[in-house]
Amino acid sequence: MEMIKKIVTLIDEKKGLQIAALDVQGISPITDYLVIASAETVKQTQSLADHVMKRLKEDDSLTCRHLDGYANGEWIIMDYFDFLVHLFTPEKRELYDLDNLYGGGRKVEAHD
């Protein structure tokens, strides 16, 4: 849970928008937590991904197991096994609507 809070903080540091953290244990067969955020441009989603990956590797020795969508940048998925980070442009976030797809997940309060 502390790692999820850290990721939310890292995204917030770089001005990520509409940050949501969900506990999807028992709902998703592939992960325990989702962090979903938006950025205004592709360059910003890529910058957010770079920042999160760099800090998790440096601070916590965590390496992203799988990265998808980085080149296009409209929807970037970072797979850390126990949690997934989804970074969207506003249009793609609205289109795929993961917030509602996993609406049964419990919201994680990530700010103190």
3 pLDDT more than 70? yes
The confidence score (pLDDT) of residue 8 equals 96
pLDDT band for position 109 (50/70/90)?
confident
pLDDT digits (tens, 9 = 90+) for 34-84: 999 999 999 999 999 999 999 999 999 999 999 999 999 999 999 999 999
Provide the CATH topology of domain 2-107. Beta Polymerase; domain 2 (3.30.460)
**Per-domain residue ranges for the chain?**
2-107
Q: How many CA atoms lie within 13 A of 63 on its CB side?
A: 1
The confidence score (pLDDT) of residue 99 equals 84
pTM of the full predicted structure?
0.92
